[in-house]
């Protein structure tokens, strides 16, 4: 009986800081979303021709990476639409 009480007391002491940290680290959803978009993300650049090494690192905020991706997708869509029109003779 005494041993189980000691085990219970010890395990609760170990879990209390974890519960307190979980309660304190709950950021507001809007603030978390904004901070995620302003976070700087670095990626390996385009590989150099003839090399197995990646190119120089390119760093942008997540918002800028999202804009770059949207611009690339828009360019691909525009090129695909132009090739469809030219193949149909429009």
DSSP string, 39-84: SEEEEEEPPPTT-SS-EEEEEEEHHHHHHHHHHHHHHHHHHHHHHH
Residue extents of the structural domains in the chain: 39-47+55-90
pLDDT of residue 6: 47
Q: What is the dihedral of CA 20, 24, 60, 34, to 10 degrees?
A: 150
What is the model's pLDDT at position 67? Answer: 97
Q: Which pTM was predicted?
A: 0.54
DSSP reduced 3-state for 9:
helix
Mean pLDDT of 6-13: 51
Summarised one tens digit per residue, pLDDT across range 26-80 is 556 666 666 799 999 999 988 888 988 888 999 999 999 999 999 999 999 999 9
């Amino acid at each position: 009986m005494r041993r189980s009480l000691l085990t219970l007391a010890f395990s609760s002491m170990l879990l209390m800081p974890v519960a307190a940290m979980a309660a304190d680290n709950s950021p507001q959803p809007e603030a978390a979303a904004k901070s995620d978009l302003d976070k700087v993300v670095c990626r390996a650049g385009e590989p150099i021709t003839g090399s197995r090494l990646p190119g120089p690192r390119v760093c942008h905020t997540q918002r800028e990476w999202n804009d770059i991706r949207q611009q690339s997708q828009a360019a691909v869509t525009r090129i695909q639409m132009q090739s469809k029109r030219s193949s149909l003779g429009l």
